[in-house]
Chain A
Amino acid sequence: MKKLSLLSILMASVSLLFSQASLAAGHCGEIHLGSAISLTGKYATNGIHAKNGYEYAIQKIKDAGGVMVDGKCYNFKVTYYDDESKGDRGATLAERLISQDKVQYMLGPYSSGLTKAIAPVTEKYKIPMVEAEGASRSLFNKGYKYLFAVLSTSEQYLASAVTLAAEMAEKQGKKPSSVKVAIAVENDPFSLDIRAGVSEDAAKYDMKVVIDEKLPRDLSDMSAILTKVKLLKPDLLIVSGHSKGAATAVRQIDEQNIKVPMIALTHCEAADVTGKFGDAANDILCSTQWAETLSYKDPIFGTAAEYEQGFKKAFPEYKDKSVPYQTAQATAAVYVFKDAFERAGSLDKEKVRDAIAATDLMTFYGGIKFSDAGNNIAKPMVLRQIQDGKYNVVAPSAFASHKLNWPRK
């Protein structure tokens, strides 16, 4: 009996200590955000990149004095659930966040597929969601009112490579319509958008698409496509299949000694093609939402380069690689929330929603301004070329820091 009472006193004092601690740090209130994100399963790598981006933003905003809403200061706090990279799981967890945890504002999951699964739920409960990792354009033709995306939509990802190929053909004194295009994309919403963007732009120039194939989800060998590439000699090869697509393509392009003047991929950084395959990755074009060499800046995160340095300091595991754009855009999504809360001057979710819709913000990640459909129309896609193991921006020419190496050796 005595033991028990001693224990309860101990517990009471501990809890007292905690409440005091929270009081001491607690002149700022808390704004509770929720996110179902892939911490396991096939999207785990990028899901964790995104989560780190969220966490870094929250810390930086806290260090900068928090979110000032109507004269009171708040800090963000996020409840994460692991959606296991599965859409149905994501939707269930979104329901749980909203109805059990009473979350009023959501940060997005990773991938278009998961965002597609969650958006109907947030829409149903009228919960504003700012997402940073779902680029499929099919997210923005459903008339969603509470979904906002800071990134460029996916059909823009590699479309600029087509323009670039046309420019190079003209420089050679040939017609853009003489360019032959080969497309190999995974059979998922994101990659199919990329294909749509590329084939639309190719059709504009009247280019011929000589190969148009879908990659399987568990791709580990694409020699069948590359053999055709060897036979049909396209001038532009487009490959998009998340990290495995990039890794497989770079490895087998080198192995089969494929000579195509221009090769454009997605997810080069995520697959770490320069680290894994070295020179084999040279002169490949990679699309990116963001690059640390861009000259964008904002008062909280500084320039793009400063963001990268700060992030690497906070997350030392990124020390030896470049910070992926998935992380930068996740940070930008939290920033949009901060900005919207401050302009709304209220925690009412309808007012916050209207404030998000009216966002016109310059960030380290680029301009952010939402169309009526909710996608960001203020930021262009960037193409970088791997030159001697470094990612150098080569397109669009307005931001280009380096010249394009063409044709690829």
Chain B
Amino acid sequence: MDQILGNIGLLFEFPVVNLKIILDGIMVGALFALAAYGLALVWGVMNVKNLAQGDFVIAGGYVSWWLVQNGFPALLGVPVAFVVMWGIGWVVYKLVISRVIERDLFTSLLATFGLAIMMAQILNLLFGSDTQSVDLDYDVLYFFDGFIDVPIAKLIGVLMASALAAGVIIFMKSSRMGQAIRATAQDARAARVMGIDTEKVYAFTFSLNSAICGAAGAIIVMVWVIQPFYGISYSIRAFVIVTAAGLGNLPGVIAAGLGIGALEQYGAHIFGIGYQQAIAVLLLLLVLLVRLIQQRRNRQVLK
């Protein structure tokens, strides 16, 4: 308790800490938002809740790490991970997802849960269980007497994440395929009637999700560390964010991603870093409660 009070005291004693926490939170939140956006896409379009989301992120990280081990520049990892994970996503869709897409909720949950375990173990067998990271030889920018540190690598990562998000938004708004995806999400049967090949749309959506995750992972490996079994922590955050923001609400997903990133950092500062993930889960609980209350109110209106 004393420690918690002390930690809160620090926030007031050194106001600049708040800026640092928020900055750190936004940087990590940007990547959560990416993974969450992919999840929202798959969830909204195909009604598949992909529990292997985080494992796609980690797999993308390993693609980039492997490239660097073989002498390629680190920044190349992001586009390459995007392409490679696109391919893997397509294969996974054809092998697994396409078979469970018409089934009920539990079948797809079980299938993607199994997929998550498989992917983690395959990564473990391929790359070993050591934590890995890619060290970019960029400088770190310091502000406020060196108190705030912004590694240029992190900055590049966030910029790449925003560029990717912007690209996806433009694609969804203006391209033919983007329109087809949105139409399928609204009503798959109507979309079929209108001549949209929904099977193709599903395959495309899942591959796109996998590719977005892969790119996020390639950024993560430059900034933090990855390990074959870290997928779950990204899956959890993606679920929290999508649940909070709702499906098909892209600005909401980004805002929720950044918000959760910052709140987690505050939680880690005040309660200790051991509770960082607990904060995310607690937020999920709160969001669900609020949603439930909102729905109850709606029902009363309907009566």
Q: Which of B7, B131, B225, B232 is the most central at the interface, judged by chain A CB atoms within 10 Å of its CB? A: B131
Query: Hey, which chain B residues are within 8 Å of A40, CB to CB?
Result: 121, 124-125, 129
Instruction: Note all chain B residues with C-beta closer than 8 A to A221.
Output: 24, 28, 224, 276
Asked if residues A216 and B276 are in contact (CB atoms below 8 Å), the reply is: yes
Whether B129 and A41, one on each chain, are in contact in the complex, defined by CB atoms closer than 8 angstroms, is yes
Contact B142 A42 (CB under 8 A): no
Kindly supply a per-residue 1/0 record for chain B positions 80-93, scoring 1 wherever the CB is within 8 Å of any chain A CB and 0 otherwise: 00000000000000
Interface range on chain B (Cβ under 8 Å from partner)? 35 or more
Among A96-115, those with CB < 8 Å from B are: none
Most buried by A among B128, B232, B273, B274: B273
Is B162 an interface residue, CB under 8 A from the partner? no
Of A28-36, A241-249, A325-333, A347-355, the one touching chain B? A241-249
Output the residue of B28, B142, B276 with the most chain A CB within 10 A.
B276
With known contacts A224-B269, A271-B131, A187–B225 Cβ distance under 8 A? no
Find residues 135-176 in chain B having any chain A CB closer than 8 Å to their own CB. Answer: 135, 140, 142, 146-147, 149, 151
Contact (Cβ within 8 A) A41 B17: no
Closest chain A residue, CB of each to CB of B269: A224
A70 contacts which chain B residues (CB < 8 A)? none
B133 and A218 within 8 A (CB): no
A218-B232 in contact (CB<8A): yes
Are A187 and B274 in touch, CB under 8 angstroms? yes
Bits for B10-33, please: 1 = Cβ < 8 Å to A, else 0.
100110010011001000100000
Bound: A126/B269 CA distance, A: 48
Residues of chain A at interface, number, CB under 8 A: 38
Q: Is the CB of A218 within 8 A of B233?
A: yes
A280 to chain B, nearest CB (A): 9
CA of A230 to CA of B16, assembled, Å: 12
Q: What's the minimum C-beta distance from A325 to chain B, rounded to whole angstroms? A: 16
The closest CB in chain A to the CB of B151 belongs to: A255
- Complex contact B21–A227 (CB within 8 A): yes
**Cβ-defined partner of B3 (8 Å) among A44, A212, A248:** A212
> Which residues of chain A have C-beta atoms less than 8 A from B24's C-beta?
221, 223-224
- Picked from A224, A230, A256, A277, the residue with its CB within 8 Å of the CB of B273 is A224
Determine the chain A residues whose CB is within 8 A of the CB of B142 once the complex forms: 257
Given A45-B128, A228-B7, do A184 and B229 touch, yes or no (CB 8 Å)? Answer: no
B210 at the A/B interface (Cβ < 8 Å)? no
Cβ–Cβ < 8 Å partners of B20 in chain A: 227
> Nearest chain B CB to A327's CB is how many angstroms away?
15
Residue A23 CB within 8 A of the other chain: no
* Shortest beta-carbon distance from A315 to chain B in Å: 15
**Chain A, 242-286, CB within 8 A of any chain B CB:** 243-244, 247-248, 251, 255-257, 270-272, 276-277
B256: interface (CB < 8 Å): no
- Residues from chain A with a CB closer than 8 A to the CB of B272 are 213-214
B282 shortest CB reach to chain A, Å:
14
B79-127 at interface with A (beta carbon < 8 Å): 121, 124-125
- Tell me whether A220 and B135 are in contact (CB under 8 A): no
Tell me which of A42, A244, A256 contacts B225 (CB under 8 A).
A244
Residues facing A in B189-239 (CB within 8 A) are 220, 224-227, 229-230, 232-233
Cβ of B7: which chain A residues have Cβ within 8 Å of it?
228
Pair B274/A216 contact, Cβ less than 8 Å? yes
- Bound: A129/B91 CA distance, A: 47
The residues of A that contact B14 with a CB separation of less than 8 Å are 231
Is B131 within 8 A of A247, CB to CB?
A: yes
CB atoms of A214 and B147 under 8 A apart:
no
Choose among A184, A225, A257 the residue that contacts B146 (Cβ–Cβ < 8 A).
Answer: A257
A214, B273: Cβ atoms under 8 Å? Answer: yes
Rounded to whole Å, the gap between the CB of A357 and the closest CB of chain B is 35
Collect the chain A residues with CB atoms within 8 Å of residue B28's CB.
221
A residues within 8 A CB of B13? 231
A244 CA / B225 CA spacing, docked (Å): 8
Chain B residues, Cβ within 8 Å of A337: none
Contacts of B149 in A (CB 8 A): 255-257
Closest residue on chain A to residue B233 by CB atoms: A218
Confirm or deny: A215 has a beta carbon within 8 angstroms of a beta carbon on chain B.
yes
Also in contact, A248 and B274, with CB within 8 A (given A40-B124, A271-B131): no
Give the residues from 42 to 80 in chain A that come closer than 8 angstroms, CB to CB, to chain B: 42-45
With a cutoff of 8 Å between Cβ atoms, the chain B residues found around residue A251 in the complex are 133, 135, 225
What chain B residues lie within 8 Å of A277 (beta carbons)? 135
Task: Report yes or no: B21 in contact with A44, Cβ–Cβ below 8 A.
Answer: no
Residues of B within 8 A of A276 (CB): 133, 135
Q: How far is the CA of A187 from the CA of B276 in the complex (A)?
A: 13
Task: Contact check, A271 vs B130: say whether CB atoms are below 8 A apart.
Answer: yes
Chain A residues near B47 (CB, 8 Å)? none
Residue numbers in A under 8 Å from B268 (CB-CB): 224-225
Note all chain A residues with C-beta closer than 8 A to B274.
187, 213-216
A214 to B13, CA, bound (A): 24
Which residues of chain A are near B277, meaning CB under 8 Å?
Answer: 216, 218
Q: Which residues of the partner chain A approach B64 to less than 8 Å between Cβ atoms?
A: none
Task: Report the Cα distance A216→B14, complex, angstroms.
Answer: 26
Q: CA of A197 to CA of B14 in the docked complex: distance in angstroms?
A: 32
A222 in contact (CB, < 8 A): yes
CB of B265 closer than 8 Å to a CB of A: yes
B130 and A216 contacting across the interface, CB-CB below 8 Å: no
Q: Which 6 A-B pairs have the closest CB atoms?
A: A224-B268, A214-B274, A44-B129, A220-B224, A244-B131, A213-B272
Given contacts A227-B269, A244-B131, A251-B225, 8 further A-B contacts (CB under 8 A): A40-B121, A44-B124, A44-B129, A184-B273, A224-B265, A225-B273, A231-B14, A257-B142
5 contacts between A and B (CB under 8 A): A220-B230, A220-B233, A221-B224, A247-B225, A248-B224
Residues of A within 8 A of B (CB): 40-45, 184, 187, 212-216, 218-225, 227-228, 230-231, 243-244, 247-248, 251, 255-257, 270-272, 276-277
